[in-house]
C-alpha cells in the first residue's frame, strides 16, 4: 500500500502539470486558470448536493430498519470525489466528477465493495461489533 501512495505522490503532480501545459497551450493561461477555479467551485456544489442526497437516503433506510451499506459506499465515493475536485488539476477533476456523478458512481462503489470484501476475506481489515 505504501508503494502505491509513494507512486501516486510522485506521478500525480507530473501528470497534472502535463495536463496544465496541454490545456494552456490550447486555450491560453487565463482560460486554463478560470477553468481550474470553475471546476473546483462546480465540484464543491455537486459534492454538497450529492452528499446531502446520500445522507437523506441513508437516514431513510435506517428509519426503515435497514443497514445503509450501499449508501455508506456512495458516501465514501462522494467524499473522495469531493476531495479530488477541490484539488487543482484536470486529471483529479475528471476522476472526482466520475466519483460524484450519480450515473458513474455505482461503478466505483462496486469496485470499492469488491476491494473491501477481498480485504475482509484476507484478514487485512477486521470488523468489530459491539
pLDDT in tens, 108-124: 989 988 988 888 888 87
Residues in contact with 46: Cβ distance below 8 Å, sequence separation at least 6, in sequence order: 82, 85, 97, 100, 101
Residue 1 has pLDDT above 90, yes or no: no
For the chain, helix, strand, coil in percent to 5 are 85, 0, 15
C-beta separation of 33 from 88 below 8 A: no
pLDDT at 32: 92
User: In the chain, how long is the greatest CA-to-CA distance?
Assistant: 57
In whole angstroms, give the CA distance from residue 64 to residue 66: 6
Residue 31 has pLDDT above 90, yes or no: yes
pTM of the model: 0.80
| 3-state DSSP assignment of residue 65 | coil
pLDDT at 8: 84
Please report where in the chains the cell 494552456 appears, as a residue.
24
Residue 128 has pLDDT above 80, yes or no: no
The cell for 39 is 471546476
Amino acid at each position: 500500500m505504501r508503494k502505491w501512495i509513494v507512486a501516486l505522490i510522485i506521478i500525480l503532480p507530473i501528470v497534472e502539470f502535463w495536463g496544465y501545459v496541454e490545456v494552456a497551450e490550447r486555450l491560453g493561461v487565463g482560460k486554463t486558470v478560470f477553468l481550474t477555479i470553475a471546476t473546483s467551485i462546480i465540484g464543491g456544489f455537486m459534492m454538497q448536493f450529492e452528499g446531502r442526497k446520500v445522507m437523506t437516503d441513508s437516514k431513510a433506510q435506517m428509519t426503515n430498519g435497514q443497514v445503509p451499506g450501499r449508501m455508506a459506499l456512495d458516501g465514501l465515493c462522494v467524499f473522495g470525489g469531493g476531495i479530488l475536485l477541490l484539488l487543482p488539476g484536470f486529471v483529479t477533476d475528471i476522476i472526482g466528477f466520475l466519483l460524484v456523478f450519480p450515473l458513474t458512481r455505482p461503478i466505483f462503489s462496486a469496485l470499492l465493495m469488491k476491494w473491501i470484501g477481498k480485504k475482509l476475506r484476507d484478514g487485512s481489515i477486521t470488523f468489530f461489533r459491539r
